Chain A
């Protein structure tokens, strides 16, 4: 099992259930966006005694549903800004939970959100753990990356 995998699963299930009342489950399927499918990638950085990032990759359609639930609006009322705010919020909570596992003191950055078909790239980091989840027929992915020691 990957490092932090159990915790990623536990925190992600908890956050999505408590904030959105959605049941999400880990899937062994790979996170492979369909050709041309737009993915929203959220990321928070962690600095201090441990340095790296926590990212959340999510299809735009799922992010829209999340925003609709989170802000209690109909989907056709959801703007791009709200979709980004919603994903930023989820990413922030996921990162905040993961931070509690790390050596202290550590600090959480503001969330960054980007629309991408290639994934958010974080130069100077290496993947520690990634878990794909299933929700409503969509897949999303939570990853933990650590700053590389390469200079």
Chain B
């Protein structure tokens, strides 16, 4: 099993359920990170453990999350509200995962990239990837761990 895989699955289900009232289920298989339709939200963990927690979502699911979170009508979510919604979601997921990592560690403010704009994290390697499905929409949560200190020469 991957690093923190079962904990990630458990806490991710909890956050989606309590924050949005959505049921999500783990699913096997891969997710197309580089899809033009993928929106990415990430938070960085700094301290005793250094790395990144990233959430990859298709645009249709992002719209649904945003509309639910801010009680908007279907089709009324703007890029700004989507940014805020996904930022909030990854922040909550990240906070839960951070509590399982070596302490003390702190969480950054989230980073958000729109459809097709992938985020890269030099000096890290992916240690965990968990695929989920929500109402027929697959999405992915990944954990990247630091491999090298960028300040080392």
Q: How far is the CB of A13 from chain B (nearest CB, A)?
A: 21
B121/A118 in contact, CB under 8 A? no
Contacting residues of chain A (87-117) with chain B, CB-CB under 8 angstroms: 88-89, 92, 96, 107-117
Contacts known (A84-B120, A123-B83, A123-B88); A109 close to B44, Cβ less than 8 A? yes
B96 within 8 A of A: no
Q: A92-B150, A121-B112 are in contact. Are A110 and B117 (CB under 8 A)?
A: no
Query: Is the pair B150, A89 in contact by a Cβ cutoff of 8 Å?
Result: yes
Most buried by B among A48, A51, A117, A123: A123
Binds A, one of B16-24, B45-53, B130-138: B45-53
Q: Is the CB of B113 within 8 A of A122?
A: no
Binds A, one of B7-15, B25-33, B68-76, B101-109: B101-109
Q: Are the CB atoms of B122 and A88 closer together than 8 Å?
A: yes
Decide if A45 is an interface residue (CB 8 Å cutoff): yes
Chain B's closest residue to A48 (CB) is: B106
Smallest distance from the beta carbon of B125 to chain A beta carbons, Å?
A: 12
Assembly CA distance A112 to B124 (angstroms)? 10
